[in-house]
Structure 1
Amino acid sequence: MTKRKTPTPYLENIKALSDELVKAQEPIRILDAIKWSEAIKQDFFKHKCKQQPKISRDDYLQQNKIDFNAQREVFYTIERQVTRKLGQFNTVGKMLKKKCNEYVLVLRMLEACGTPEFSNLSKLLYGSAKDVFHAGDPTIAELGQLMTEALCQIDKSEVVQEDPRTINAERAVEILQKKLSRHFQEADKPLRVIISDGIVSDAAAGADYIKLRQDALFNKRDLNLLEVHEGLVHIGTTLNGKLQPYCTFLSKGPPSSTVTQEGLAVLMEILCLVSFPARLKKLANRIRAIELAEEGATFVEIFNFFQEEGYDEDTAYSFTTRVFRGSLATMGPFTKDLSYTKGFVTVYNFIQLAVKKGKLERIPILFCGKTNLEDIRDLAQLVEEGIVIAPKFLPPQIKDLNAIAAWMCFANFLNCLSTHKIESDYDYLLSS
């Protein structure tokens, strides 16, 4: 792989256009625009969790201050500039225009908050539970069902148990801070772990920080997972994107890159041996909840579903809110939570095929910023040309691909075996 190229007018145009795109997307904060207030939660619990939460379209309009028409025009202008300065068929230009189009679609979705159109646009951006990975393959919902069936068997075992969560947010900050400092010693500025009371999930990653919710409790498995998922992947890809000399747009990502990045993060959890059954159960239940909402289930019905799965009221409310944020309590879902499993399958398949084809050099390119799997071939070309630089911050398993290459070689063969015949031949070994 070549080093970065010496600046030329062409490269300066790429950087200027990339910088404009990064600036243009700054007002768009999807999760902030669709979040629910604490007052909605308090009212829901005040009514014993029996009435639908009181969320309206006006609530979204009041908290969302984007001038949608003006913001759309910004992206249209950038798209026209890309064609004028880079041409119709330029590789970087096509990527920039595709991102402009996607951000326009995001604006349409946010403008439709609290209407049926919101969920429809969400499905265009993140997918639907009824989508298939390839023609004739199972749907995302069926994948979730297969995961659930396997996890139900694991739940019956007394060998695998979930550790109690006794580590408070303050102590978790100290532990995670040490972990991140070790991984990102060469970062331009220290990575931070901070406490926040304004996030829905237990943790969330920013450009150079991880937020932990003030009232959240953790165990060691949780913190190991956060180290990999939020730290090595999400922060790592952000930092690599910020180091790009010309394609600075790789520091930010629209929903299509969210699917790839979340899938990459889940895959790394498994490769680093920090995932666990309760984590997978959560992902499977999120798929099922979105599927139910797509079929017409209401907030209260999905809240009850999560409680039936063993979650306490606060957790069930948090999970259900993730399904309906941006929508109303009796409308379709926000489907972003499909990204984890959808992205995992697509990224895993890509890596497996890259090993089979002897294209291992393509794998680290996933980490050169907020990448989209569909752009990997173009990004590989840009790396070879020195327009995109190879990622600096990589998980150990990606920095040294020997173990993954060996594993995938076996996986390619194992995929050819009949699971039904294996079960028939081996079943007696596991019988009582």
Structure 2
Amino acid sequence: MLDKQLMANTRELSDRLVQLQAPIRILDAVNWDRSIREEFFRQDAQQNPNISRSYYQQKNLGFNPESLRQGLAELQRDIVRQLGRLSPASQLMIRACREYRDVVRMIEARGTAEFHELSVELFGHPDDVFHANEPSLSELATMLQSPLDSLLASDALPEEKKSIEASEAVSRLQAQLDHSMPSVDVQVMLSDGIVSDAAAGSDRIKLNQDVMFSQRELDILEVHEGWIHVGTTQNGLKQPYLTCLSKGTPSATITQEGLAVLTEVITLRSTPRRLAKLVQRIHAVALAADGAEFVEVYRNCLEQGMRPEESYTLTQRVFRGSTANGKPFTKDLAYIRGFVLVYNLIRVAVQLGKIDRLPLLLTGKIAIDDFRLICELADSGMIAQPDFVPPHFKDLRGLATWLSVGRFLGDFSFTQLENDYRPLIP
């Protein structure tokens, strides 16, 4: 039985954390204006965009960085005083306070070398490895690139045409979400202020009004932005005490994107071109980390078969928050890095017979490293089970079977299999 005062203190501290982090908008703080794109193409894509530290300092953050860092530090001290340092709820919120302070420092450092270093601290580096003597994230991307190139070169897998206007895409995606997420009030709308094709908020999904969509892309957005990003936010908002689970720290962002990509794959929504785009993001970050400037990364994207507008958008994602000849913003590593972390956690849970724990990944915006704490908090009653659970997590039999078979087949030598079966395929 939970202590009433403990519950009240936890809720009050969690609500303070939600309130403190509310004005932080990382992407708004680092994104470039549309005029930068227009000028880049006016110069025939031959010159680096003119981005300096002063460019970022002109942006209104909507908060005072020093005051916010101080507020987070004070909250962290209050968490320890009221809940102790070792309780699961304390550890969860203390990590969040520390990460948000680092986020504020990173935003303050836009346009400097420190921005990249703090970005690496929060989101990782292309040279990171998951275990000693294993491939780095960049090397894993290269390994994945080879089979994807073969698939993309095949006429048997043509890419669906982007023939759906943004306004029609809003209607279609809204209908799909109303059907697959009837218990969640999610709204789809047009936007002219986002860099990507789409972006999710707490209860809405924005579609870029200047972009055409294919039905396949809408299917991906349904599960990626809807089921995972909006779904976990709403689950976090319904938490009785740890309301801060509705907000994502950078480490939670990695888990979120990993869950979203895994969901695309499991539900057969993803495509080789979609995965190739995620892999290309890693390559672009790696190039910039090795010293390539904006124009060099842009040209590399063109060489990979991307259109000029696509190449600019991807390259801008890499250099936002930095300068055109500075080191990259590494957030785009989150997709594949998160995918590997989430996939392996699920595989081990299946192997250990703990598959019933997996829906807890959806309780809110959580980090993989905090999963043990989440389980302990759920056992104690401090965390409620997720309200919205996507189909593949609601009925875990299919997921468990798929992963079990995958582990069994993964023990075969692919090199030997290729030698055996290549003569059978004309």
Q: Structure 2 length normalisation: TM-score?
A: 0.98
Which residue matches 1:63? 59
Deviation of residue 424 (structure 1)? 2.0
Within a 5 Å distance, the mapping from 1:126-141 to structure 2 comes to: 126-141=123-138
Are the counterparts in 2 of residues 51 and 300 from structure 1 also a CA contact under 8 Å?
A: yes
- C-alpha separation in 2, matches of 1:416 and 1:171: 46
Which residue matches 2:215? 220
Which residue matches 1:285? 280
Letter in 2 for 1:78: L
- C-alpha separation in 1, matches of 2:60 and 2:17: 21
SS in structure 2 of the partner of residue 167 of structure 1: coil
Among 374, 390, 399, which residue is 2:394 paired with? Answer: 399
- C-alpha separation in 1, matches of 2:305 and 2:419: 33
SS in structure 2 of the partner of residue 363 of structure 1: helix
- C-alpha separation in 2, matches of 1:424 and 1:291: 33
- The answer as to 2:150 corresponding to 1:153 is yes
SS in structure 1 of the partner of residue 103 of structure 2: helix
- C-alpha separation in 1, matches of 2:155 and 2:219: 23
Letter in 2 for 1:29: R
- The answer as to 2:328 corresponding to 1:333 is yes
Letter in 1 for 2:145: T
- The answer as to 2:262 corresponding to 1:267 is yes
Aligned-residue RMSD, C-alpha: 1.1
Letter in 2 for 1:234: H
Which residue matches 1:125? 122
Are the counterparts in 2 of residues 257 and 371 from structure 1 also a CA contact under 8 Å?
A: yes
Which residue matches 1:169? 166
- C-alpha separation in 1, matches of 2:160 and 2:317: 25
SS in structure 2 of the partner of residue 269 of structure 1: helix
Deviation of residue 400 (structure 1)? 0.4
Q: Percent identity?
A: 44
Contiguous gaps of at least 5 residues in structure 2: none
Deviation of residue 89 (structure 1)? 1.1
- C-alpha separation in 2, matches of 1:32 and 1:249: 21
Encode CA deviations 1:330-371: one digit per residue, 9 max, x unaligned: 000001111000000110000011000000121111000001
Deviation of residue 155 (structure 1)? 2.2
When structure 1 is superposed on structure 2, of 138-147 and 195-204 the one drifting more is 138-147
Are the counterparts in 1 of residues 2 and 380 from structure 2 also a CA contact under 8 Å?
A: no
Among 86, 89, 101, which residue is 1:92 paired with? Answer: 89
- C-alpha separation in 2, matches of 1:81 and 1:7: 18
Are the counterparts in 1 of residues 113 and 327 from structure 2 also a CA contact under 8 Å?
A: yes
Among 371, 375, 379, which residue is 1:380 paired with? Answer: 375
Q: Which runs of 4+ in 1 moved over 3 A?
A: none
Which residue matches 2:78? 81
- C-alpha separation in 2, matches of 1:315 and 1:7: 54
Letter in 1 for 2:393: I
- C-alpha separation in 2, matches of 1:379 and 1:6: 16
Deviation of residue 7 (structure 1)? 7.1
Contiguous gaps of at least 5 residues in structure 1: none
Are the counterparts in 2 of residues 263 and 342 from structure 1 also a CA contact under 8 Å?
A: yes
Letter in 2 for 1:182: H
Within a 5 Å distance, the mapping from 1:92-111 to structure 2 comes to: 92-111=89-108
**Alignment size in residue pairs:** 425
Are the counterparts in 2 of residues 362 and 376 from structure 1 also a CA contact under 8 Å?
A: no
Encode CA deviations 1:2-36: one digit per residue, 9 max, x unaligned: xxx77711001000000000111011110000010
SS in structure 1 of the partner of residue 205 of structure 2: strand
SS in structure 1 of the partner of residue 322 of structure 2: coil
Within a 5 Å distance, the mapping from 1:303-318 to structure 2 comes to: 303-318=298-313
Which residue matches 2:27? 31
SS in structure 2 of the partner of residue 344 of structure 1: helix
Deviation of residue 184 (structure 1)? 2.5
- The answer as to 2:238 corresponding to 1:254 is no
Q: Structure 1 length normalisation: TM-score?
A: 0.97
